[in-house]
Each structure stands twice: as structure tokens, then as C-alpha cells.
Homo-oligomer: A and B are copies of this chain.
Amino acid sequence: MAPRGHTADDVARTALRILDDHGLPDLTMRRLATALDVQASALYWHFPNKQSLLAELSDRIVGRMASGTSDDLRSRAGALRDALLAYRDGAEVVSSTLALGLGSTLALDRLTEAVAADGFAPDTARRVATTVLHYVLGFVWHEQQRLQYDSAGAREGARDTPFTAASSADDFTFGLDLIAAGLRANGRV
């Protein structure tokens, strides 16, 4: 019997709220149980361990990428960035889930489709998508680290280097365009 009538969806929604309010280090099963007013053991009815809970959150975060079919690599990568930025520590949740081999392959699939739609072979499309996924995760990870330090006041008095300043949509697009130009150049060879 499911505990206290909480569904897996209830648990995941509450976990996302804790993530967004307090960040990944403070998202513990104990805190989640307290927020739901159940024993921590009751959570394991829905999620056998914390990794599987984070995988569910990762799927929900990545699921914010629009599901259109007409959009290109650049707009899909931008949609992924927006999805990751929508929740505090989103890049870390998604990256750790991918590193564990858990969660859906939606992000990679959507990027791969966009490259393949331009006529590239499946293997090339997958490798280009992998490059873009590493770039997007690396970029947003940096953005979210800065946001976290800013909100904690840890960057007071810190100088902005050319790299730390690089976290605007404009810089993000510059890198993506470079990768896309490389793809087109390789396609011509």
C-alpha cells in the first residue's frame, strides 16, 4: 500500500521544490520525508534510492525542452539550457544522472535528431550531439555556480574575469554557432 496516499508524482514535485529552494546538497531523503510528513522509509516505496529520485527529477527538468520537430540544433540546445536553468542546480542533477547511466536519453536524442535532420549520418549526428550536450552542461554548470555564489554573497569583492563574465545568452550562442559552423564545414569536405 502506498504510504499516506502520496503518489510518486507528489514526492517528485516536492523534491523539485526543495531542490529549487535549497539546492542539491540540501535535498536529502530525510528533508523530503519531513516536507511530506512521512517517515523517510516511506519514500522508498516510490524510489528505491536517491539516485532513482534524482533520475526522475532529471527527466522532469529535461522534459521542459519543447517537443517541436521543426526546430534546429541551435534552438534545441537553447531549449536545453533554458530547461536546466529553470531549477537550481539543474545542470548538476542532469549531469550526475547521465553519468550514472540513469534517466531518459531525451536530451541527447533531441539534439541528435536535429543534426540528423540536416542530412548527417546517425553516428556523426550522435557524436555531434554528445559534443553539444557536454558544452551545454558545462556552460550552465558554470552559470549556476555563479548564481549560487552570488546568492550566498560569496562573490562580493570578487573580480569578474573574462571567463566569469561569459555566461550570457550571447556567449552561449557564440559557442553553439562555432560548433554548428564546424559541422557545416566538415559536411562540405
A134 and B166 alpha carbons, distance in the complex (Å): 10
A101, B134: Cβ atoms under 8 Å?
A: no
**Which residues of A are in contact with B by a Cβ distance under 8 Å?**
51, 95-96, 98-102, 105, 108, 126-128, 130-131, 133-139, 141-142, 145-146, 149, 154-155, 158-164, 166, 171, 174-175, 177-186
Q: Which 10 A-B pairs have the closest CB atoms?
A: A138-B138, A182-B182, A101-B158, A131-B175, A99-B145, A181-B182, A185-B185, A178-B182, A134-B138, A130-B166
A164, B99: Cβ atoms under 8 Å?
A: yes
Residues of B within 8 A of A186 (CB): 178, 181
A137, B130: Cβ atoms under 8 Å?
A: no
B183, A178: Cβ atoms under 8 Å?
A: yes
